[in-house]
Amino acid sequence: MRFLHTSDWHLGRGFHRVSLLDAQRAFLDHLVDTVRARRVDAVLVAGDVYDRAVPSLAAVELFDGVLHRLAELAVPTVLISGNHDSPRRLGVGSGLMDAAGIHLRTDPAGCGTPVLLHAASGPVACYGLPYLEPSLAGHALGADGAGHAAVLGAAMDRVRADLAARPEGTRSVVLAHAFVTGGEACDSERDIAVGGVAAVPVSVFDGVDYAALGHLHGCQRLTDRVRYSGSPLAYSFSEAGHRKSMWLVDLDEGGAVRAERVDCPVPRPLARLRGPLEELLEDPALERHTGAWVEATLTDAARPHEPMARLEKRFPHVVSLQFDPERDEHGPAVPYARRLRDRTDRQIAEDFVAHVRPGRAADRQERAMLGQALDTVRVAAQGDGGPQDGEPHSGAPRGAAARPGGTVTG
> pLDDT (tens digit, 9 = 90+) per residue, 192-218?
654 445 789 999 999 999 999 999 999
CATH number of the domain at 97, please.
3.60.21.10
Average pLDDT of the chain, as a whole number: 87
For 139, list phi and psi in degrees, rounded to 5.
-65, -45
| pLDDT score for 338 | 61
Say if residue 251 is in the same domain as residue 357: no
Say if residue 248 is in the same domain as residue 275: no
Say if residue 123 is in the same domain as residue 253: yes
Say if residue 103 is in the same domain as residue 216: yes
Which of the four pLDDT bands, split at 50, 70 and 90, describes residue 377? confident
Residue after which a domain boundary falls, among 263, 287, 302: 263
- C-alpha distance across the termini of the chain, in Å: 46
111/91 Cα distance (integer angstroms): 14
163/208 Cα distance (integer angstroms): 9
| pLDDT score for 330 | 55
397, pLDDT greater than 60: no
Helix (H) or strand (E) holding 104: strand 102-105
| pLDDT score for 386 | 47
At 49-107, the pLDDT tens digits run: 999 999 999 999 999 999 999 999 999 999 999 999 999 999 999 989 999 999 999 99
| pLDDT score for 342 | 61
| pLDDT score for 351 | 79
Residue after which a domain boundary falls, among 238, 263, 288: 263
- Taking the whole predicted model, whether its pTM rises above 0.85 is answered as no
Length of the chain in terms of residues written: 410
284, pLDDT greater than 50: yes
| pLDDT score for 399 | 39
Say if residue 182 is in the same domain as residue 286: no
For residue 295, the enclosing domain spans 270-409
Which of the four pLDDT bands, split at 50, 70 and 90, describes residue 1? very high
Say if residue 204 is in the same domain as residue 101: yes
CA distances from 317 to 13, 234, 324 (A): 18, 15, 21
Residue after which a domain boundary falls, among 263, 278, 299: 263
Say if residue 127 is in the same domain as residue 226: yes
Say if residue 236 is in the same domain as residue 343: no
Q: What percent of the chain has pLDDT over 90?
A: 69
Which of the four pLDDT bands, split at 50, 70 and 90, describes residue 331? low
Say if residue 71 is in the same domain as residue 212: yes
For 32, list phi and psi in degrees, rounded to 5.
-65, -40
184/306 Cα distance (integer angstroms): 37
Say if residue 9 is in the same domain as residue 132: yes
Residue 31, SS3 per DSSP: helix
Say if residue 365 is in the same domain as residue 233: no
CB 392 within 8 A of CB 187: yes
Say if residue 41 is in the same domain as residue 126: yes
Residue 314, SS3 per DSSP: helix
| pLDDT score for 30 | 98
| pLDDT score for 337 | 61
357, pLDDT greater than 80: no
| pLDDT score for 392 | 41
Q: What is the DSSP string of 323-354?
A: E-----TTSPPPPHHHHHTT--HHHHHHHHHH
CB 189 within 8 A of CB 209: no
Which of the four pLDDT bands, split at 50, 70 and 90, describes residue 376? confident
| pLDDT score for 328 | 56
44, pLDDT greater than 70: yes
31/191 Cα distance (integer angstroms): 28
Which of the four pLDDT bands, split at 50, 70 and 90, describes residue 403? very low
**Number of domains observed in the structure of the chain:** 2
| pLDDT score for 185 | 79
Tell me the average pLDDT across 364-382: 78
